[in-house]
A and B are shown apart, each in its own frame.
Chain A
Amino acid sequence: MTSSFRSVFEDITAHSNLPDAEENVSLQMWHLLGNSPRNSPAHSGRTPLPEKYLVHRDLRPGNGARLGSENVFLEPSPMPNRPSTSNKLCCSCMADATFQLMDEVPLFSLSEGFCTPDNIQDSLAHLDQELCLLGYSSIYHKSRSKSSGRAFDLVQLVNVTNDLIAGHHKHLNKQRELEDQNHKFSSEIRHLENTQQHLKDQITSSKQDEAMHQERQRQLQAELVSQEKKMKRLQDDVRKLKSVLQSRDTQFRHDLRKKERELAKVKDRLHALAEKKKERRQGIEILNVIPRGDGHRKMWKTSKEEKKCQEEMHRSIVANYEQREKELRTENQELRETLTFLQQEVSTVFSAVSRQEREHHPMSPDSLDDEVGDGHLQMPYEAVQNIVEGKLKDQLSSMLHLIGIQTSQGIKERNCASDEAKLNDLNAGQSATKAGSEVHSRSSNGEEEEESDDDSCATPSDEVDAKLEAYKTLIMKQEELIQQTFAAAECQQDTQVAELVKDSLFIEERMTLERERKEMEAEKATFAEERKRFTDAAIRLGKDRQKFEEERTNFLKYQYLNMTPPQAASYSHAVSMATASGSMMSSPSHPMTSSHPMTPSHAVTSSVLVTSSHPMTSSHTVTSGLDKSAVSSPFQTKAASRVQVPVTSTSTLAVSSVPAGRLSVSPGTAEFYRVLDQFPSPTRGNVNTKVNNCSTTTPAKGATAQSVPPTPSTGDLYRVLDQLPSPLHNRLSLEQQPGGPSWLYKNQTTPTRGRHSMLCKVQTPQPVALRGTLFDPRRRRTWASPQCFRGVQASLFQ
């Protein structure tokens, strides 16, 4: 902008041919112009100073140089080579605005012909006059004013002009300000007008709305009325329908009754007919009458009996009521006790808290007087209802109040020891009652403790011991509690009481934990005992084996020494069983029956006979596990259960059989069979197995087959093993019915009892885990799919 101004100014100065004074002025103007851009940086069209001067100087007739805004000056520039032509881009509207401005403001119009070189003096005089009128000092020298006319003082003129210009500037500024203000006001007015218009619109719209609402309200009202009418109608309908329903109901019932009467008549008729006809068919045919369950005969119906019956009934009614009354009484008593307990607890806690509170606030009311006595709670409730309820309510409200205070203020000072003791008492009392010991709740005191100990000295020693133990634990607990309280008091004084209360809440949990621990300990003890028994059994087994080895060596020795001819061999070979090899090769389709000529071959219910004969051993029979009831089975012969092989000079070493077959296997017996197998064939003991309808499982590992306890001591061992109710005792029991079509397997650990003790036991290395549904038609056994319930069973069946 400056550059454009300057260019214009240069132009002016170049084309003007003003005198020196004029040149001076123009220089001053130049100077001014140099400052002007700084003064009016943001001015648009009305930048006063430079423009004015420019206009004043530059305007030549017919050459309408126009003032533009900012960098815009010329539109129809007289000098086409001007650099400012490049600024022709200015918008015409702005230029128009400037024109308007110039027309309006006469300041910018040139007073042409006012001062010419001819009338300069007059002009000056006129100017002087004007200036004097305006209050400026004269532009003539005062000294020479009288004598030689007035001397023109250029400096004065310049000063005055400067003043004028400054004043003019001021005025212009003022004017601009006013214009701005004016603008502002006008815009404000416009805004207000707009607002007013808007508000007016709003008013009209709200009026419309109102009208609409009113209309709607009217409509709704009308609807309401109609709905009410409808409702009334519906209600009437309902009533009518109800009455219809009722009438139908009554009609239905009436008809029903009629029908029923008819039916009753028909029945009566039928009865009569039946009575008249006396059917031959009807009646009871019974082989022989059976006696009453209690052995008495049927009694005649006499009045005496009837009376007795009535009496009995009334007795039972009375007994029922008595029972009921007793139940109610107990319940009532229990409720009373609970109430008393609660009341005591509340009052204990409350007293502790309130005492504490009193220490802090000595003025707080003592509400302990409201306490309900135990006696009150045992009185007929009807009589003391108001008292008890009122007091409890008071207590509760004051307690709530206290709690409110506590939570709001917090407890700042340390708790006194007695309060703690009291709270501990409460805890101790709870634990004591829970533990079932009769410790009084005030037993935290050592002396009292001793006293109670002394008292209980009279009772038997173990009771005393138990009590002592209980007390000791109690004391320990209390000490712990006190310690805890102190610790808590030190670190957290504020929350002390809260802690205590909280602690009392955990007592039950602690008790349950304690109980659980006790149970666990008991379990541990039983486990230890079991383990001990097992060790014993193992030791005994070892001894047994040792004994057996001895026997065997003896046996071998004896055999070597004697070398008897193989008498029994010819018929004892019929069935030889590779027992020790772990496969008992009998199957249901090929029952292996003993063909021992001396042994009567009885088709016995699946009995397993193990006979072992040896000529040299002295005749001695060992039967173990023989059950009498088994022998008395209907199809059973006694020989089946007990077989002796009466070979000359031979004897049965161990023969036993239980009708339903009981196989017990232990490493010891397997050993026994291995020993037997090792014997040379002539002297070998016969092991006959007789299995009818029997399929035996072949257990997975070598320890198999069936045996009979060879010596009484082993028998003992088995008995011991049987009696052990241990999870290790996973035996697969095989139950079978001779005539029955089905087979049933189950894992059984129940101790042997009664006639069911016969089951064949085969020790398996682990609980049988057959997967899925096995349906083996040959074996005909079914297993539950264990995967279905293995996961759940632990939780389900515990």
Chain B
Amino acid sequence: MNFSDLFQQTSGLCLFSPNGKYLANCVQYRLIVRDVRTLQILHLYTCLDAVQHIVWSPDSQFILCGMYKRGITQVWSIEQPEWTCKIDEGSAGLESVCWSPDSRHILTFANFQLRITVWSLINKSVSYIKYPKQGKKMLDFTSDGSYMALAERRDCKDYISVFSCKQWQLMKHFETDTKDLAGLEWAPNGRALAVWDSILDYKLLLYSLDGRCLSTYSAYEWALGIKCVSWSPSSQFLAVGSFDEKVRLLNHLTWKVIIDFSHPPLLEGKAVVYKEIEKKLPSLQGEVDPPGGAVFTGSSHYEVVSERPAQIPVIKADPEKANPKIGVSLAVFSPDSKYLATRNDNMPCALWIWDIRQLALVAILLQAAPVKHLEWDPCQSRLAFCTGTNKVYMWSPAGALSVDVPVEASFLVQSLRWHPEGAAVLLMGRENMCMCFIDRDKNR
């Protein structure tokens, strides 16, 4: 495991290109494209304003920079650095922007979800889609990029429109049986579309491509409902995390619940419990702890807790506040669909890893700080995550490890991203980033 130097970046705007060759990052109004292997700057583009959002085109040829404050999107080409493109959303304002799967169209979302504009880079044509629904996961493309599902709201009813991405033609338009649709996601094989209701109602619906409802599922009533929905890469399982601190696993054939994984504060059973033990640096006489607290933490290591029941630290959620910090908000499958990593929000320091084949908890990692971000290696069952300290953590079925990032101690890892080929991890702090190369051959 080797680490590069620190590079500047702003607000976590660092992305690997989908083909894994380039690394784009933003420093205020500059967009820097580097070679992933050498980290050498290949291109440097200067945008009109501070960049707030960047997206690679799926073919890794273009990169778009969203400047929401100005309502402008700029597109840059990797192959032709002199090529320019600027899209101005006008007075409607810009809220979000994304690529279409063919890399030749750009979808911009106007403020207040006024409309979605589809800009063609092929012939400058513009199309509008009215009445999109407000929310994060309201639009999803099938993995082969041929269809787009979009949630819409008309006359206080939820609809889903399925567009063909080739022609931007509406293929299907159907009403969903939801009160307030909160998100939708295609199965990776494109055969089913999972649609779920807002947190006020636990309701999950599955639709086929042509809008037929395949199944409806509701675990309970009245209480706050679904918090996260995640498909397994094999499309065989659908994990639904909810406010009752449970993850329910649905079968892809019958859409029945296979099992529900609960997250109890006292853990029995055979699962391995890793506890992070922090070694404090010996302080000098008269030394006062810096106000930042965790800035200069020492190294840490994992210890296996063998006593049962194992105690998992729990934070009591405040019922007075909206969106209480309770329930499973994160459920991510490993790329081989063998493991599921979850985080329960009222146990922010614990990371749960479930074995899907055994339908059992396989490990639990008790961190010293709340888990901020986690991501599976795209090539194997290896999980990397960070807790906002100067360490990066990894778990694989063989064990867990914590590695100090050997750069300035003020570099606190807030987020991380795997290289598409799994050979490197990009670690992002608040203003810096650092590449961590994992040499596979050497370790083999």
Contact bitstring B151-194, A, C-beta under 8 A = 1, else 0:
00111100000001011010110000001100000000111000
Residue among A288, A297, A730, A774 facing the most chain B CB atoms (10 A cut-off): A288
Q: Which of A163-171, A472-480, A679-687, A787-795 has 4 or more CB atoms under 8 Å from chain B?
A: A787-795
Q: Which of B289-297, B309-317, B325-333, B392-400 has 4 or more CB atoms under 8 Å from chain A?
A: B392-400
Q: A784-B406, A789-B401 are contacts. A740–B167 as well, Cβ < 8 Å?
A: no
When distances are taken between beta carbons in the complex, the residues of chain B under 8 Å from A117 are none
- A554 lies within 8 A of chain B by Cβ: no
When distances are taken between beta carbons in the complex, the residues of chain A under 8 Å from B119 are 284
Q: A274-B90, A284-B87 are contacts. A290–B407 as well, Cβ < 8 Å?
A: no
Q: Which of B124-132, B260-268, B341-349, B356-364 has 4 or more CB atoms under 8 Å from chain A?
A: B124-132
Q: How far is the CB of A193 from chain B (nearest CB, A)?
A: 62
Judged by DSSP, the binding face of A is mixed
Size category of the A interface is 35 or more
- A80 lies within 8 A of chain B by Cβ: no
Once bound together, how far apart are the Cα atoms of A772 and B167, in whole Å?
57
B190 touches A298 (CB 8 A): no
B407 touches A782 (CB 8 A): yes
B399 touches A795 (CB 8 A): yes
Give A246's nearest chain B residue, CB to CB: B222
- A367 lies within 8 A of chain B by Cβ: no
When distances are taken between beta carbons in the complex, the residues of chain B under 8 Å from A561 are none
When distances are taken between beta carbons in the complex, the residues of chain A under 8 Å from B104 are 290, 292-293
25 CB < 8 A contacts A-B: A257-B156, A270-B112, A274-B91, A277-B91, A279-B91, A283-B87, A285-B86, A286-B124, A290-B122, A293-B103, A309-B164, A312-B146, A313-B172, A314-B210, A320-B208, A725-B441, A740-B41, A742-B7, A744-B5, A775-B406, A785-B406, A793-B1, A793-B401, A794-B443, A796-B396
Q: A782-B2, A783-B406 provided; 12 other pairs, C-beta below 8 A?
A: A256-B156, A282-B88, A288-B83, A289-B122, A297-B122, A305-B167, A317-B209, A320-B190, A741-B5, A744-B2, A793-B443, A796-B382
**8 A Cβ contacts from A742-756 to B:** 742-750, 756
Once bound together, how far apart are the Cα atoms of A310 and B394, in whole Å?
47
Once bound together, how far apart are the Cα atoms of A559 and B97, in whole Å?
75
When distances are taken between beta carbons in the complex, the residues of chain B under 8 Å from A88 are none
When distances are taken between beta carbons in the complex, the residues of chain B under 8 Å from A743 are 5
- B219 lies within 8 A of chain A by Cβ: no
CB < 8 Å neighbour of B85 from A286, A783, A795: A286
- A16 lies within 8 A of chain B by Cβ: no
Contact bitstring A705-723, B, C-beta under 8 A = 1, else 0:
0000000000000000000
**8 A Cβ contacts from B428-444 to A:** 436-444
- A267 lies within 8 A of chain B by Cβ: yes
Once bound together, how far apart are the Cα atoms of A741 and B123, in whole Å?
40
Residue among B7, B91, B147, B436 facing the most chain A CB atoms (10 A cut-off): B91
**8 A Cβ contacts from A264-290 to B:** 264, 267, 270-271, 274, 277, 279, 281-290
Contact bitstring A722-743, B, C-beta under 8 A = 1, else 0:
0001000010000101011111
- Rank and list the top 4 A-B pairs by shortest CB-CB distance, nearest first: A282-B90, A797-B443, A773-B406, A737-B40
Q: A282-B88, A309-B169, A795-B399 are contacts. A289–B164 as well, Cβ < 8 Å?
A: no
**8 A Cβ contacts from B110-141 to A:** 112, 114-115, 119-126, 130-131
B253 touches A328 (CB 8 A): yes
A789 touches B1 (CB 8 A): yes
- B39 lies within 8 A of chain A by Cβ: yes
Once bound together, how far apart are the Cα atoms of A793 and B330, in whole Å?
27
**8 A Cβ contacts from B1-46 to A:** 1-5, 7, 37-41
- B402 lies within 8 A of chain A by Cβ: yes
- A360 lies within 8 A of chain B by Cβ: no
- A126 lies within 8 A of chain B by Cβ: no
Give B147's nearest chain A residue, CB to CB: A313
When distances are taken between beta carbons in the complex, the residues of chain B under 8 Å from A291 are 122
Q: How far is the CB of A327 from chain B (nearest CB, A)?
A: 8
A301 touches B167 (CB 8 A): yes
Q: How far is the CB of A240 from chain B (nearest CB, A)?
A: 15
- B404 lies within 8 A of chain A by Cβ: yes
When distances are taken between beta carbons in the complex, the residues of chain B under 8 Å from A253 are 179
Residue among A261, A284, A735, A756 facing the most chain B CB atoms (10 A cut-off): A284
- A306 lies within 8 A of chain B by Cβ: yes
- B355 lies within 8 A of chain A by Cβ: no
Contact bitstring A296-320, B, C-beta under 8 A = 1, else 0:
0111010001100110111011001
When distances are taken between beta carbons in the complex, the residues of chain B under 8 Å from A774 are 406
Give A781's nearest chain B residue, CB to CB: B5
Q: How far is the CB of A190 from chain B (nearest CB, A)?
A: 63
Once bound together, how far apart are the Cα atoms of A212 and B104, in whole Å?
90
A274 touches B92 (CB 8 A): yes
Once bound together, how far apart are the Cα atoms of A283 and B126, in whole Å?
9
- B285 lies within 8 A of chain A by Cβ: no
**8 A Cβ contacts from A105-139 to B:** none
- A798 lies within 8 A of chain B by Cβ: yes
Q: A290-B122, A788-B404 are contacts. A737–B171 as well, Cβ < 8 Å?
A: no
- A498 lies within 8 A of chain B by Cβ: no
When distances are taken between beta carbons in the complex, the residues of chain B under 8 Å from A741 are 5
